[in-house]
Amino acid sequence: MNNMPKTHLIVGVEKHSIAHKLHIKAGDKVVSVNGEAINDIFDYRFLIADEFVTLEIEKSGGKKEIYDIEKNYEDDLGLEFGTSLMDEYHSCSNRCIFCFIDQMPPGMRETLYFKDDDSRLSFLQGNYITLTNMNDSDIDRIIRYRMEPINISVHTTDPDLRVSMLHNRRAGEVLGYIKRLADAEIVMNAQIVMCKGINDGEKLERTLADLMEYAPVLQSVSVVPAGLTKFREKLYPLKPVDRQSALQTIEIIERFQKRAMKKHGIHFCHASDELYLLAGLEMPEEERYDGYMQLENGVGMLRLLEEEYTSVLNESEDPGCISERHISLACGHSAYAYIRKFADMFVQRYGGRIDVYEIRNDFFGETITVSGLICGCDLIAQLKGKDLGDELLIPVNMLRAGEEYFLDDITISQLESETGTKITVVPGSGEGLFRALAGLEIKDYRRQIYEQTDSGDSRQA
């Protein structure tokens, strides 16, 4: 077994930084800080956050040097490393019965098949983790570094059922880590991917009751329906969530919300927008979302969008030159009624023509209705030859995070070429939607979010 401490290659040094003044260069390696080995960025950041730092460096020629550094507490050293984590991502060891990645067709971008289960990404980027690949020392480190909030994929608090759902023998026993984190007052959020007939109904009631014992440190729990694509051959035979099961789930959640408000002053648990849409119910009022803590999990996105959009629409002056403007929007089935309503509100106030196209998801299957999983091929197939007007607006969550590719690697330029229409990407805010409809300048739309997700769909709306 190799017991040599891990070293970290320096790929760059910021000019005029502490490291630059000490003549530390790209190609050198960090061996330790304050005598402690460095596993990743969290060790490094925690240990250099001091006024006196001892830095051990292995020079490119192999010689080791010690630097005793006196600095301001918050000063960075100016070192740059090859990856943002200074380590590899931790992959998922589960085989969840609802895993969306297992339902992807072959031949797609390699990164789309990577399953992470990394507590560091939970802290940095909001990803959800199952705790199954963690041990006591990992939990100790979260507590030591105050890595919060930590987002946990719970799904059920029944240990045996969790083992069955995640196909991991540790899935039940690691639920005890939630108590350790709560006792240390590490802020947490949780999610439940609801599978019809498996962890809903009475099972869901038990899970919510168990998790409420950790409130308000566990500050929110979202319940989202499992997303089922048409590529489920040889996978667990899950049934899609229908209106009746959505209604039942919402009734349970809203009952627990009342209990949580009385006991903790927060609503605590929340149904995703998709559940309300499946149930045919209006979205809850804004105050019931407790500050929208789980937007990226599809909880409250439509309510927040409506609140922001209505506010901007009511307060904005006439942008002018609208009466002759003809544009189109494309979205998934879930958001269609809302986007149609917003477009009508705009036309009634300012005039012009806005067509809204509800895109059917032929790529993944019609049961996938969120805009964030619409692929470029479906946009082309269903919009080519249509009179789309001056431009076509698409929501940013259709695109790969930070780039101009759809999930099937079709680019915005290809979509423009196939439809013969200018494409405008709309940020996920009410102001962004208003400015796009009015033809005003839009700020950078790109979102910096880690590409994949633990289980189902984090690209809601």
What confidence score (pLDDT) does residue 90 get? 60
Task: Name the DSSP class of 280.
Answer: T
Beta strands in 112-173 (DSSP E): 150-153
CA distances 8 to 3, 14, 37, 87, Å, are: 15, 16, 10, 9
What one-character-per-residue DSSP string does 167-235 give? T-TTTTGGGHHHHHHHHTT--EEEEEEE-TTTSSHHHHHHHHHHHHTTTTTEEEEEEEEPP--S--TTS
What confidence score (pLDDT) does residue 121 get? 54
Which tokens hold the place of 93?
Answer: 């060891």
What confidence score (pLDDT) does residue 459 get? 38
Q: Are 75 and 81 in contact (CB under 8 A)?
A: no
What is the helix (H) or strand (E) element at residue 443, kind and residue range?
A: none
Residue ranges in the chain whose pLDDT is less than 50: 1-2, 113, 122, 446-461
What confidence score (pLDDT) does residue 437 get? 94
What is the chain's length?
461
What confidence score (pLDDT) does residue 110 get? 66
What confidence score (pLDDT) does residue 86 get? 66
What confidence score (pLDDT) does residue 455 get? 35
What confidence score (pLDDT) does residue 61 get? 83
What confidence score (pLDDT) does residue 316 get? 85
